[in-house]
Amino acid sequence: MKIKSAVFERSATDLASCPRWALPEFAFIGRSNVGKSSLINSLSERRALAKVSDTPGKTKLINFFVINGTWSLVDLPGYGYAKLAKVQRFDFNEASADFLEGRRNLRQVFVLLDSRLPPQAIDLEFVRWLDDSRVPFAFVFTKTDKQSASHAQVNVALFKQQVSQWRREPPPIFLSSARTGSGRGEILSFIEKALAEPLRA
């Protein structure tokens, strides 16, 4: 897919304030620092498209971008562990949860995972929740330029093995580097193919 235009549309604070349009949406989510902004900028060929989400106070917002006037790239606030008193609690942005569970336009969620790390409990917990909520998801392993291909493949295999314990088919898997641009073409082709498919009933 050739990127002809990539435009920031708006930020939403909750499901109710998301755009009322018919555009199919492809959302990106991951823990902070996983490389989400870098990937969004790489995919859209815009150096600072995802910068909007970096401005203070905007990190909890859902950001919508329109690509080629035909689909929307959605930058979702991520998940992490919040330190409450002395206990750590799984902290999942409520707007993201509502969006993932209730947004009709949503076609696919790309869950970003750091290719340098073996499966982390928090990521597994999140994808299990996605699967239970019947949200179609794919994995994008980020920052592959930071280590050998074989090291990344070991982590991919470990993830697949974990997910196979509760899911019959492995999700689509992409390996990417925002630095070298590898994986970019595959992710965009996947989206292009999904756009050509009729909507599920």
Interacting residues toward ligand GDP by CB under 6 A? 30, 32-38, 142-143, 145-146, 177-179
Q: Is the CB of 13 or the CB of 32 nearer to ligand GDP?
A: 32
d(CA 99, CA 18): 9
The answer to whether 187 and 174 are in contact (CB under 8 A) is yes
d(CA 116, CA 34): 10
Q: How far is the CB of 187 from ligand GDP (least distance, A)?
A: 13
Q: Is 30 exposed, middle or buried (0-12, 13-18, 19+ CB in 10 A)?
A: buried
Q: Is the CB of 149 or the CB of 166 nearer to ligand GDP?
A: 149
Q: Is the CB of 147 or the CB of 164 nearer to ligand GDP?
A: 147
Q: How far is the CB of 68 from ligand GDP (least distance, A)?
A: 22
Q: Is the dihedral of CA 192, 196, 200, 201 positive or negative?
A: positive
Q: Is the CB of 41 or the CB of 162 nearer to ligand GDP?
A: 41
Residues 6 or more apart whose CB falls under 8 angstroms from that of 2 comprise: none
Q: How far is the CB of 174 from ligand GDP (least distance, A)?
A: 12
Q: How far is the CB of 201 from ligand GDP (least distance, A)?
A: 34
